[in-house]
Structure formats: C-alpha cells, structure tokens
Structure 1
Amino acid sequence: MNQITVIKNKSQYIQEDHYVILIDNKPLELILHELYPEELFLGLVPTIIDWISLDEEAKFFQRRFNINHDRKIVPVLMCPDDCDLSCTIIVAEVITSDDQVIWQRIGVDCSKWINSNYELIGTEVRWLYKVPEMKFDKESYKTLEVIYKPTNLQ
C-alpha cells in the first residue's frame, strides 16, 4: 500500500508555501518528472480548489474528488500559471472501494471543448504507462480534502 500525504511546501514556480501531494514521501510532480524528464511536469501544482478563479471549475473539481464507489477520472495536478482547465491537467483514474482508493493509472488530459463542458475532462487521456498503479488506505486518502474542499465556495 502506498502512503499519500499533503504538506505545505514551495515548488519550482511558486515560491510561497502551498499544498503539495506526496506519494511515499515524494512530491507527485517529481515522480512524474523522474519518469518523464522530457515532459514539463516539474512545477505542476495540485488542483487546489481555492486557487481556481471560476466557481464552475472549482465545483467540477470538487465533484470529481468526492469519494464514492465509482471509477472516475480525477484531476490531480495543474499548471500554476492560470490555475484553470486551459493548461496542462494531470488526471488519475480512481477506483474506490470500502477500504481503499486506487489510482489505477495517471495521464495527461487531452480532452477537447472542455471550456464549454467540464464533464469532458478525462474523455481523452494520454496515459503515462511508466507510472505504476498506486493504492491508498481510504482514511489516509482523505488528507487530500484540504485541497479539494474549498474555503471560498458557498
């Protein structure tokens, strides 16, 4: 079983403390960078709800994160430039059971027309096959709630 935690830290492009997802004590963006150094994954940040300016986008991220017994595509990292869906979005195919959450695979979202329909996120994904499946205890997975539970949405 993998460990998932959330800490506050700096990243390549953001020099103020912000949430960072750690998998087995290593930032997720760094894991992706080490497996795919030719890609521009270093510096991506979690899809922090409070950083997203459009309420509709923030609510979409929150709905996708909602832990239930589904298989779904959940945005986990985004480009820090605009903090929206118009730039690089890293997604995980998430399967939830009674006691664990599995990131079956991780990829780069390539969906089209997402600005008119956010639900299209995850319909076209370039899967990163070097990234192994990750399994998390459901209780420890809930640490991601600090990222996906907004403080500024009604």
Structure 2
Amino acid sequence: MNLIEAKYFKTKFWSEEYPCIYIDGVRLDSIINQLKPDQDYLGLIPTLFSALNHDVEEMVVWERVLPKNGTAILPLLMCPDDVDLYCTLIVVEVLIKGNTVIWTRFGLDDSSDDDYVPRWLGTEVNWFENSPAYEFKLETYKAMLDVFSKERVKNKS
C-alpha cells in the first residue's frame, strides 16, 4: 500500500501555501516531472485545490475523485497560470476496489470540446508509458480529500 496525504506547500508560482498531494512522502508534481523529464511539470497544482475559476470544473473534478462504478479519469494537476482545466492538465485513471483506491496510470489530457461543461475531459489522453500504479487505503485517501474539502469551504466563505 502507498501512503497518500495532503501537505501545505508554497511554490514559486503561487503566492501562498496551498495543499499539495504527496505519495510516499514525494510531492505529486515532482513524481510526474520525473516521469517526463523532457517536460516541465514542476509547480502544477492540484485540481482539488479551491483555486479553480469555475464551479462547473470543480464539480467535474469532485464527481470523479471517488468513482461509484468502475473507473474514472480524474483531472488531477493543472497549470497554476490559468487555474482551469483547459491548459496543461495531468489526469489519472482511478479505480475503487473494496477499501482500496487504485491510481492505475497517469497521462496528459489531450481532449477538446467547445462545450463549457468539461465532461469530455479524459476522452483523449496521452498516457505516460512508464507510469506507476499506486494503491491507497480508502480511509487514508478520504483523509487526504478532507484537507482539500476544508480548504474549499474556507475559501468559499
């Protein structure tokens, strides 16, 4: 089992600390950057963070973070410049199996559509060839999500 948690961190691209996803003690954007060192993915911020510019984008992210049936393609890391799901967007395939959450593979979303409701996200993905899979205890995964949920509530008030 892997350990997933949210810890506060400040990058050069964001003016204040915000929750970041860590897997086994390593920040997720660093993991992705190691998978694709020819790209610059350091500094991408979690889509679970309350910074998304549009409620409809936030809705799509939170609908997919814990899929009820089968798998879902979760928009996971986004560009800190645009803070939306239409720029650089790293996705992960999520599967719930009993009390385990499995992130099976990561990729760069290459979907496009004129529809403003981004339900089409994840329809076209350039999956990373060397992408690791991670397995988390459901309770630990939910604890990580709680950090982001509290941040969302705090920023909406």
Instruction: Tell me, yes or no, whether TM beats 0.5.
Output: yes
SS of equivalent to 1:60: helix
Q: Name the CA distance, whole Å, in 1 between partners of 2:98 and 2:114.
A: 31
How far apart, in 2, do the equivalents of 1:57 and 1:34 lie?
27
Aligned partners of 1:114, 1:31: CA distance in 2, in Å? 31
Q: Is the counterpart of residue 17 in structure 1 residue 17 in structure 2?
A: yes
Unaligned residue ranges in structure 1 (runs of 5+)? none
Moved more, 127-136 or 7-16: 7-16
Name the residue aligned to 1:55. Answer: 55
Distance 1:141 1:67, change over 3 A: farther
The question of whether the paired residues in 1 share the 8 Å contact of 2:66 and 2:96 is answered with no
Indicate yes or no: 2:86 matched with 1:102: no
Q: How do residues 1-154 of structure 1 correspond to structure 2 at under 5 angstroms? A: 1-113=1-113, 115-142=115-142, 143-147=144-148, 150-151=152-153
Structure 2 counterpart of 1:76, which letter? L
- Divergent runs of 4+, >6 A: none
Q: TM-score, normalised by structure 1?
A: 0.90
**Aligned-partner SS, 1:51:** coil
- 1:102/1:134 contact within 8 Å kept: yes
Q: Distance in 2 between matches of 1:56 and 1:49?
A: 14
90-99 or 49-58, larger mean C-alpha shift: 49-58
- The alpha-carbon deviation at position 12 of structure 1 amounts to 3.7
Segment of structure 1 superposing worse, 100-109 or 137-146: 137-146
Separation in 2, partners of 1:45, 1:111:
19
Amino acid at match of 2:110: C
Q: Could you tell me the percent identity over the aligned residues?
A: 37
Q: Give the Cα–Cα distance (whole angstroms) in 2 for the partners of residues 76 and 97 of structure 1.
A: 20
The answer for unaligned runs of 5 or more in structure 2 is none
Q: What TM-score, normalized to structure 2?
A: 0.89
Aligned-pair CA distance for 1:75: 1.0
* RMSD, aligned α-carbons: 2.0
Q: 1:47 to 1:148 in 2, by over 3 A?
A: farther
- State the Cα deviation string for residues 62-95 of structure 1 (Å, max 9, x = none): 1112353421101111101111012111111000
- Which secondary structure state, in structure 2, belongs to the residue aligned with residue 75 of structure 1? strand
